[in-house]
Structure 1
Amino acid sequence: MKSKIKFFKEYTQQPGVKISLVLSILSSFILIIALIGKNFLLRQLDSFGALSLIIEFIYGTVLTFLILRKKDKYLHLVPFLILNWFIGCFCTNTIIPIFENLSVWVYLITFAFCLSNFFIYRDVKEKYISKISYFINGLSFTLILYFAVYLIPIIHYSFIGMLALGLGFYGLVPAIVLVLHSYIILGFFQKNKKHFLSFIAGFSILLISLAGFAFKLNAESNKISQNTITQSFENNDDLPNYIKVSQNLKPNFFNEILLKKDVVYIGSENFFLFEGFNSFGSKEFNEKKLHNPFINIAYFFCKDINLNYDDRINILKSNFDKRLETEEQLWSGEDLFTKNIKEDIKIYPNSRLAYTELTIDIACDKESWQDKEAIYSFQLPEGSVATSLSLWVNGIERKGVLTTKEKAANAYKQIVGVENRDPSLMQWKEGNKVVVRIFPINIKMPRTFKCGFTTPLKVEDNLMKYQSLSIKGPSIASAETLSRIQIVGNTKIETSKDFELNNNYFINKSKGLDRWEATIPLNKNRIQDSFVWKNKVYEVKDIQKTTIPFKPSEVILDLNSNWTTQEIKSLLHLSQKKFYVIIDKKKQIINKENFESIQLQFKNLHYSLLPLYKLNKNTLIVTKSGTFSANFEELEDSNYLKKIKSRTKQQYLKVINMSAEINPFWQTIKEQKYVHFYQTSFKNTLQLIEKNQFVLFQSEKKSINIEPANISIKENPKKPSSKSTGSNHIYRMYAFGKVLEEQIKIQNDTLAQNQYTTLAKDANIVTPISSLIVLETDADYKNNGIEKNIDTLGNATINNDGSVPEPHEWLLIIIGLTTLFFYYQRSKKQTN
């Protein structure tokens, strides 16, 4: 250790080392500040890059002159010269973004190259230090080579730019360093061939890694290209071109990189053309754009997947759950993080319902001239509905007001985009998703919002299961999370996360918001919970299932990659049954003789989009759903969806799903009653087909079924004996079920739309036709034509879930309070 300190002291005593060391540290510090300013949009730090360039220009010019004039005396300063040249390059990049946003590892590898030069040019004799230095130098030298080649198209601009404070010189630095370093290091190789072996080992490892990565990326590219319409003789005018790619694409690391070309990652179509991002579309993708040299080189050796910008984004949405990233964002959400989460759950075992209230603190960790907009996406269990929204404005909680989705969206855009003031918006999205937006947020003004969701308890065997909500939003992983469970009634509970019993509540403290679940024994007594509202009573009953005789006109096996060979065999062994599959929109028989060859055609199909409108009436479809697919929103402009909406219901199709999962496409088909849909096990599927039976859930005009909880909710006239024995969430679930059930009618009937918007307002629920919005002042609601909700359930809360008193009940309450007041006043006078 002493010898190394001595070596360092001796080195610093050489001419120019101390001043070079000080200037290098100062320039590095300035570069870091400039990068922070660029990454975090701190405009007041923009000038730091220019300051460093002035220092680098003076230092570089003087040092170059000294080295050329007195080579023997100042040659040891060449590593400092190279280091400061690259610092100048990166500072120039903050002003003129030649490389857009470089990955962090690029700066680290470049610094490693410069650092290794100090040991190599000094010709350090220590064996291990020498080997490591040459190895690192060889590894990092490939990056210098990349810089030099990438900048070839702007060499002529660099020469012109040298007239402006030498800025253009930095476009030539990689090429100059490449030539200079190659000349110097070749001299060292001639003296010691072992140095060459260490250098070439580092260089080769990087090239081999790059070749392997490019090979794998190209293999994935070929798979994708094989499934594009232009690479086949299929003719399907009903579906968008990208759908076939999406259906046959199993998400992985490599095909995500391919899809993000020109969306997230810089990828020039021609490596020698300086173009940067050169694909544009109507859709936006809210993810930071990056220049990653490793990926860019691999793109150059990789076949293009021949998908346009919008198609790539649609596949990222459906296959990679990137729908939040494609939400329209009026302001940047960079630098935001979720600071605290309070997760409050109230479970109603008798109603098989639960209410989850999430209070979330959002903060910004960097100063910025620009206010930030936070967007959160909540993935809800099947059948769930959003029932409350609050935003704290000037320290006061302001509750959301429910209105039509169009009015809410227009008001939010007006206030955020034009007036730049406080709103929050909660919107319904397909696939059991809800999106919440909050604005503005900055380093001096963190925000707090609260949202609530009513969810059914999923019934499995003799248990009821509560499933936590999945959240995507600004940096949730490090949030401080406080979770609490309270149960109405005396019921045992088991959780997959450790909760401690404290004052009759189950409490847990953790980081982030991991998925967890709680199980409760199923109450086998008959359900009789009810809720009274506006001369109606809403009663919770056990769902009524009926097994009916059903001999289908034909049975279609909706094959995909989720099916096993044994499942297909078992079905085909059913006696006197004929089965068909749909291949290229044509029906084809499948039997014991040909099923293996047919199954091969579906091995890479991860979800299907059957032409339901072309199937015979009373057809039975047997499917096994996965978790992802395109949804109605992404198919909105397609002929396929138009035909689904106009020609499917009259076919009276029945569907059995053998999977515990359901993808967004089938979820919407089920919710909007295009088919009769039944989800069960494979064993039950075999029995139903063998016996020519189907299971229907009985439903009446004024009732809705909540299948996950095995309950139905029915509306009846109120009787004198009617009482609210359950929570107001019963009515909210009824209203949500009715809106979803009538959605097709709503889309085509203005009168129906008004009727069900009124129902949604009454129950204060977020639906396909209604949204919750919080505005800063009452005047904001008036200016945007939004009426505050009167005589409705209002926002759900964790502590107030009972009924709103009827008029005669209000009278009794007033009389009671008045009596108490006079009694208090009389007692006070007697005391005095």
Structure 2
Amino acid sequence: MNERLIPLRLLKIQLMDGMYRLGLVMLIFTLIFFCIGEVYPPKDGDYMSWFIVNHFVTGIYFLALMLSGRLRKGRQGLPLMLLFLLISLVSAYSLNRVIPVFAAHPLWFKLTLICCGVNYLLFAYQRILPIPVRWLQFFILGMAFCCFLYLAIYVLPFTGYGLIAFFFFGISLHAMVPLLFCIYTIVLWRKSRRGRHFYDTGFFSGIGTVVLIVAIYSLIWRVNVVEIGKLYANADNKNGLPGWVNLLKNIPTGPIANQVLVGRAAYAMPDRWDDGPSLNRWSVRNLLHDPLVMTAAFLAGTVDVPWDERAHVLEALSAYKYDDELHLWDDEDLKTTHVQTVAHIWPALRLAYTEKTLNIRNRNSDWENRQEAIYKFQLPEGAFVSSLSLWINGKEEKSILTTKAKADSAYTDIVDVQQRDPSVVHWREGNSVAVRVFPVFGGEERQFKIGITAPLSMEHGKQTYRNIGFEGPQADDAREKIDISFETAPADLNYSKVLHKDKDNRLTATGEYREDWELSFHDEGLNHQVFSNNGTLYTAVPYRKEMGNTAVRTIYPDVNSAWSTTEWNALLAMSRQFQVKVCVDGKFVDVTTNNQEQLFDQLSADRFSIFPFHLIQDAATSMVVTKGAGKSPRIADLEHSSFLVYLKQWLGEGHQIMLYNLGGELSPYLRTLKECRTFRYGKGDAAGLRTLLDAHQFPLNIENDERIIIESAKMAILANSGTGSSTAPDHLQRLFAYNHIMHAMGPHLLTGGETTDTLVAEAKAAHIVTPLSSLIVLETQQDYERFDIKESNNSLNNAGMKNNGAVPEPHEWLLIIGGILLIIWLKYRPAFIKRFA
């Protein structure tokens, strides 16, 4: 017979083998059934019935093999045994969804297991494949041996129990599957090599490659562990900042460094390592089981940094979301399913009102399971929350504004004790807000709506509206609907691709939730529009900086990684007549021609900077020059540090200092201080700074009780006594009230102390969330009465899309009432005359 026809004959024989074909069909069936359970998980979360089907198919095939006698020596049973092991592997991972021994594997390991499984099947047709492909088969076989050896070692504690309890329908024998794969991989290699060393090199190359990858990964892991450990050990308290802040400035970045820091908060780890959140080895919910991470942690150890401090570092690096909100109930099963964004924009007033309606679902099937949803919204500069609604028994219930203390007390008592329906929104530092919703029952959805009034930012002659993002229950698979309308048609409208323009100049979108989208349009100037209420006229006018004379003596460059060498040299060139100092390790150092390069190299290596304003001796004659460095710690993160103690003391003394921003968004630290009206603030490039220094001028703070400034919108809002017809929405009053309260509180935002009842009354009248006030929705009127939460008679109430804010003045009310009485008289005049004639 022609030798070339032998492989084809063997292939035909293999395909005609009934037991082999039966095994292929059963493997395909179990894979399809397993995948269906992954894509469409059971609503009740009970995977036991899904496992029973896979286990039943595995048992049937094993019995068929035993009865056929194909596993006996000399009956060509190796391909059939490999098929059985692959079916058993699918069954084992199906059991893992019921009894979670392994956390979810990362994508790379899943693909590796699939590749190894296909390779095992292809060994049945090895003789018809080209020699290079055969070598690749042995290479993958060596990798497969390493993978299953790892799995066998990991489940080794269960292997003994698997043998002892095998009589229980053979379920415990699943623990033996990785070990059997290792044994039969060796058998397959020895039988298929046919004495050719060429194939041995492929097999051992596969093993060597895995060992090399693990060694290199573990080495990089160890380098990061040592480096982070050294940085933390040297991150002493000499500048008054917490150790983790100093660590964060220079910590190495990259995927492996992040994995080292995250530890068991996101990855299954060896029992004896890591001081992360208290998790049992077999409690694997929401974790990833990455064999590389597990092996590296075992061989190279983990970082000795307390978890609370590590979490702050990870949040700043955006590798981990550290939730500092106090949870009264769990939220691990909550998921955001739908986001609806409806916005209305007033181009002639440079402001927008946005309503976000969110649906939250509890994926736990147990109806008695109650969980608490907490969302954080980061608002634009000058923006605030002006409405809140919660759907209770299918009906939208609107919020009432009260003091922050009353709202917090009512929410905590009802959620923690009575376990009934409330929702509350609180102001947070850095102009963010936290929304809490309770309860979200198992298998059900809750819906709430938050309304946000925000000025539009002016950028290069254009007004820009950006989507307001949030942090909270996972929204990866959420659906989104967007609807944006304009009071007047904008000129030169540009928008992200996710949006579509309709014939009415509305921007709409429907599809998957996306956080990053925006729109912009040409600014045609502010129209003279007025909102009138309670004897006060609110008017938006363009803001033009008013300059005041300065006597700058010392310039403090706040250098960080955002600075360029060009900016540093330009600043030094224009500052020769001034004293220039930088902060190094908590002390100010004079910059000279001898040390300027060394100081810049040292400071520009820091990811961010936390400038110690309290160390400045003469604030009136000092100027700090900074540049936005993106994410950095907030002031709240510095709580209990000596740095913050001295900073608050300095703020309490009423100091005000000149701050010039060379570009970029201010860090959260500086943004909060700016909210406290700590600075005379200027922004521009190096040339603009030179002009100010040469002219000995700097922008003045011109805010007072009748005028507030919204820097980002280049707009001022005036509040003057008087009456008249309203041509602007009520958001103008709300915008003035929020920024006036922030201006009036000033350093009290951080230092605490008493605040006047006048500011609380102003917040209630405007119905806005501030550091002093919160919005709350309770289930019954009795709940409001019990906590003494009352709706104000002199309030704008919840903002809304249909509310144009034209609140009538007292004399206008008289005209309206008189008009209504006249209409009634004219309509029913004959009846009145007839009755009283």
TM-score where L is the length of structure 1: 0.86
Q: Specify the alignment match of 1:144 in structure 2.
A: 148
What does 1:172-251 align with in structure 2 at a 5 Å threshold? 172-200=176-204, 202-228=206-232, 230-231=233-234, 234-236=236-238, 238-249=240-251
Q: Quick one: which of 742, 747, 755 aligns to 1:740?
A: 742
Q: Specify the alignment match of 1:379 in structure 2.
A: 378
Using a 3 Å threshold, how does the CA distance of structure 1 residues 368 and 337 change in structure 2: closer, same or farther? farther
Q: Quick one: which of 276, 280, 291 aligns to 1:279?
A: 276
Indicate conservation of the 8 Å contact 2:71/2:81, yes or no. no
Indicate conservation of the 8 Å contact 1:34/1:46, yes or no. no
**Which whole-Å CA distance do the structure 1 matches of 2:118 and 2:466 have between them?**
52
Q: Percent identity?
A: 25
Using a 3 Å threshold, how does the CA distance of structure 1 residues 657 and 597 change in structure 2: closer, same or farther? same
TM-score where L is the length of structure 2: 0.85
Indicate conservation of the 8 Å contact 2:78/2:188, yes or no. no
What are the superposed Cα offsets for residues 539-582 of structure 1, whole Å, 9 maximum, x if unpaired?
Answer: 33443533223223422111111111111111222332221111
**Which whole-Å CA distance do the structure 2 matches of 1:348 and 1:731 have between them?**
17
Deviation at 1:368, TM superposition (A): 6.2
Q: Secondary structure at the match of 2:104?
A: coil
Q: Specify the alignment match of 1:391 in structure 2.
A: 390
| Residue 320 (str. 1) matches residue 318 (str. 2) | yes
Give ranges in structure 2 of 5+ residues lacking alignment. Answer: 1-5, 833-837
Q: Specify the alignment match of 2:72 in structure 1.
A: 70
What are the superposed Cα offsets for residues 593-623 of structure 1, whole Å, 9 maximum, x if unpaired?
Answer: 3211111212321211222212212232111
Q: Specify the alignment match of 1:271 in structure 2.
A: none
**Which whole-Å CA distance do the structure 2 matches of 1:422 and 1:536 have between them?**
38
What are the superposed Cα offsets for residues 195-222 of structure 1, whole Å, 9 maximum, x if unpaired?
Answer: 4454455555555554554455445445
Give ranges in structure 1 of 5+ residues lacking alignment. Answer: 269-273
Q: Secondary structure at the match of 1:71?
A: coil
Indicate conservation of the 8 Å contact 2:430/2:672, yes or no. yes
Q: Specify the alignment match of 2:307 in structure 1.
A: 309
Q: Secondary structure at the match of 1:354?
A: strand
Q: Specify the alignment match of 1:683 in structure 2.
A: 687
Indicate conservation of the 8 Å contact 1:764/1:792, yes or no. yes
**Which whole-Å CA distance do the structure 2 matches of 1:247 and 1:16 have between them?**
63
Q: Quick one: which of 516, 519, 539 aligns to 1:517?
A: 519
**Which whole-Å CA distance do the structure 2 matches of 1:696 and 1:427 have between them?**
32
**Which whole-Å CA distance do the structure 1 matches of 2:35 and 2:184 have between them?**
27
Using a 3 Å threshold, how does the CA distance of structure 1 residues 625 and 64 change in structure 2: closer, same or farther? farther
Q: Specify the alignment match of 2:3 in structure 1.
A: none
**Which whole-Å CA distance do the structure 2 matches of 1:827 and 1:225 have between them?**
94
**Which whole-Å CA distance do the structure 2 matches of 1:588 and 1:41 have between them?**
64
Q: Specify the alignment match of 1:299 in structure 2.
A: 297
| Residue 798 (str. 1) matches residue 801 (str. 2) | yes
Compare 797-806 and 250-259 and name the one that shifted more: 250-259
Using a 3 Å threshold, how does the CA distance of structure 1 residues 58 and 40 change in structure 2: closer, same or farther? closer
Indicate conservation of the 8 Å contact 1:318/1:631, yes or no. no
**Which whole-Å CA distance do the structure 2 matches of 1:98 and 1:532 have between them?**
66
Indicate conservation of the 8 Å contact 2:464/2:518, yes or no. no
**Which whole-Å CA distance do the structure 2 matches of 1:789 and 1:195 have between them?**
84
Q: Specify the alignment match of 1:259 in structure 2.
A: 261
Indicate conservation of the 8 Å contact 1:40/1:366, yes or no. no
| Residue 431 (str. 1) matches residue 430 (str. 2) | yes
Deviation at 1:631, TM superposition (A): 0.3
| Residue 557 (str. 1) matches residue 574 (str. 2) | no
Q: How many residues align?
A: 810
Using a 3 Å threshold, how does the CA distance of structure 1 residues 5 and 729 change in structure 2: closer, same or farther? farther
Q: Secondary structure at the match of 1:185?
A: helix
Q: Secondary structure at the match of 2:506?
A: strand
Deviation at 1:725, TM superposition (A): 3.5
What does 1:42-57 align with in structure 2 at a 5 Å threshold? 42-46=44-48, 48-49=50-51
| Residue 114 (str. 1) matches residue 134 (str. 2) | no
Using a 3 Å threshold, how does the CA distance of structure 1 residues 751 and 622 change in structure 2: closer, same or farther? closer
**Which whole-Å CA distance do the structure 2 matches of 1:628 and 1:399 have between them?**
35
What does 1:773-784 align with in structure 2 at a 5 Å threshold? 773-784=776-787
Deviation at 1:493, TM superposition (A): 4.3
**Which whole-Å CA distance do the structure 2 matches of 1:328 and 1:287 have between them?**
21
Q: Specify the alignment match of 1:578 in structure 2.
A: 579
What are the superposed Cα offsets for residues 167-187 of structure 1, whole Å, 9 maximum, x if unpaired?
Answer: 554434323421332233133
What does 1:417-816 align with in structure 2 at a 5 Å threshold? 421-439=420-438, 445-472=444-471, 474-475=474-475, 479-488=479-488, 492-497=491-496, 502=502, 504-511=504-511, 512-513=513-514, 514-523=516-525, 528-543=528-543, 545-574=545-574, 575-618=576-619, 619-650=622-653, 651-716=655-720, 718-719=721-722, 721-741=723-743, 742=745, 744-745=747-748, 752=755, 754-816=757-819
- AA partner of residue 189 (structure 2): I
Using a 3 Å threshold, how does the CA distance of structure 1 residues 826 and 708 change in structure 2: closer, same or farther? same
Deviation at 1:340, TM superposition (A): 4.8
Using a 3 Å threshold, how does the CA distance of structure 1 residues 502 and 189 change in structure 2: closer, same or farther? closer
What are the superposed Cα offsets for residues 238-293 of structure 1, whole Å, 9 maximum, x if unpaired?
Answer: 2222111222247543432222111111222xxxxx568752379xxx99322121
Using a 3 Å threshold, how does the CA distance of structure 1 residues 487 and 126 change in structure 2: closer, same or farther? same
**Which whole-Å CA distance do the structure 1 matches of 2:584 and 2:278 have between them?**
32
Deviation at 1:630, TM superposition (A): 0.4
Indicate conservation of the 8 Å contact 2:240/2:586, yes or no. no
Using a 3 Å threshold, how does the CA distance of structure 1 residues 324 and 386 change in structure 2: closer, same or farther? farther
**Which whole-Å CA distance do the structure 2 matches of 1:287 and 1:384 have between them?**
38
What are the superposed Cα offsets for residues 671-729 of structure 1, whole Å, 9 maximum, x if unpaired?
Answer: 1123433333222122323444322221224432211122333433x33x544332211
Using a 3 Å threshold, how does the CA distance of structure 1 residues 30 and 501 change in structure 2: closer, same or farther? closer
Indicate conservation of the 8 Å contact 2:8/2:128, yes or no. no
RMSD: 3.9
Indicate conservation of the 8 Å contact 1:67/1:75, yes or no. no
Indicate conservation of the 8 Å contact 1:33/1:48, yes or no. no
Deviation at 1:732, TM superposition (A): 1.0
